[in-house]
Structure 1
Amino acid sequence: MSVLTAQLDVPLHHGAPGAARRAVVAVLGGWGFRDQGWLDATAVVVSELVTNAVRYGGGCVALQVEAHGDEVVVSVADSSPVEPRRRDPDDVGGRGIALIEALAAGWTVRNHEGGKQVRVTLHPCPGVGMAMSGGAA
């Protein structure tokens, strides 16, 4: 089974999270991921990752989507080596990591070209495992 990969450079402006959401949902839809609830949850994860990277990461922000069977990993790299951490919500933010933890199977951070890459493994998309392996969805 092959690995599908898409890489996108993210513009550093207030519209970046929306553009990233739309791009990732379009890519995943093209790859056969069709469950709307799963796509909606994925869009929230992407939005949180990109928002944090644009707000706190600085420099170049790169988004990558990988699919291997029904496993999908979304990652965002930025120039800051400071790792994200869960914090108490306030009027400005603090909900992103909690949302990601609620909507995804897990997340990790690794060093990436002097900055960091936050990798989020999504829950399997309903109906995709059989469709990608040649069975009926």
Structure 2
Amino acid sequence: MSELTAHLDVPLDRGAPSSSRHAAIAVLTGWGFRDDDWLDAAAVVVSELVTNAVRHGGGCISLQMEAHDGRVVVSVADGSAVVPRRRDPDGIGGRGIALIEALSVGWTVQNHQGGKRVRVELHPCPSDGEPSGGRA
């Protein structure tokens, strides 16, 4: 199977997490991923990444998804070079990194155009194996 990729520029506003979540699910479904629980987990990861970028990042935000050999990687880039870290939950937040860690194989941070890109490898989709589909 060839690599499938999607790149979306995300508006920097309060609706960004929801818009990104819906767009990601549409792309993943279009690629052939069908497991509802897996798609829900992917949606949470996308939402947390974009929420963190809106709250703590700044600059332009972009969402990228890649699927190859049964692996799916979701990444979000923003204009801040500050590396995210796990913190104690409070009334406002602090649960994002813990959720990402619970719902993924792992995550990394890369330098990206003066800011950063946070890459998250999702757990393999249990029922689909490799997706079928085209390029988004």
TM-score normalised by L of structure 1? 0.94
Question: What pairs with 1:39-58 in structure 2 (closer than 5 Å)?
Answer: 39-58=39-58
Would the aligned equivalents of 1:16 and 1:51 in 2 still touch at CA under 8 Å?
A: yes
Where does the alignment leave 5 or more consecutive residues of structure 1 unmatched? 133-137
Deviations 1:45-69 (A, max 9, x none): 0000000001110010000000002
Where does the alignment leave 5 or more consecutive residues of structure 2 unmatched? none
Partner Cα distance (2:95, 2:129) in 1? 31
Q: Shift of residue 104 of structure 1?
A: 0.6
Structure 1 residue runs of 4+, over 3 Å off? none
Q: Shift of residue 130 of structure 1?
A: 5.7
User: Larger RCO: Structure 1 or Structure 2 (Cα < 8 Å, ≥ 6 residues apart)?
Assistant: 2
Deviations 1:2-24 (A, max 9, x none): 10000000011110000000000
From the CA coordinates, give the structure whose radius of gyration is larger: 1
TM-score normalised by L of structure 2? 0.94
Of all paired residues, the percent bearing the same amino acid is 72
Q: Which has the higher helix share?
A: 1
Q: State the one-letter code of the partner of 1:13.
A: D
Would the aligned equivalents of 1:69 and 1:128 in 2 still touch at CA under 8 Å?
A: no
Number of residue pairs matched?
Answer: 132
In structure 2, the CA distance between the partners of 1:64 and 1:130, relative to structure 1 (3 Å rule), is closer
In structure 2, the CA distance between the partners of 1:88 and 1:28, relative to structure 1 (3 Å rule), is same
Question: What pairs with 1:51-90 in structure 2 (closer than 5 Å)?
Answer: 51-90=51-90
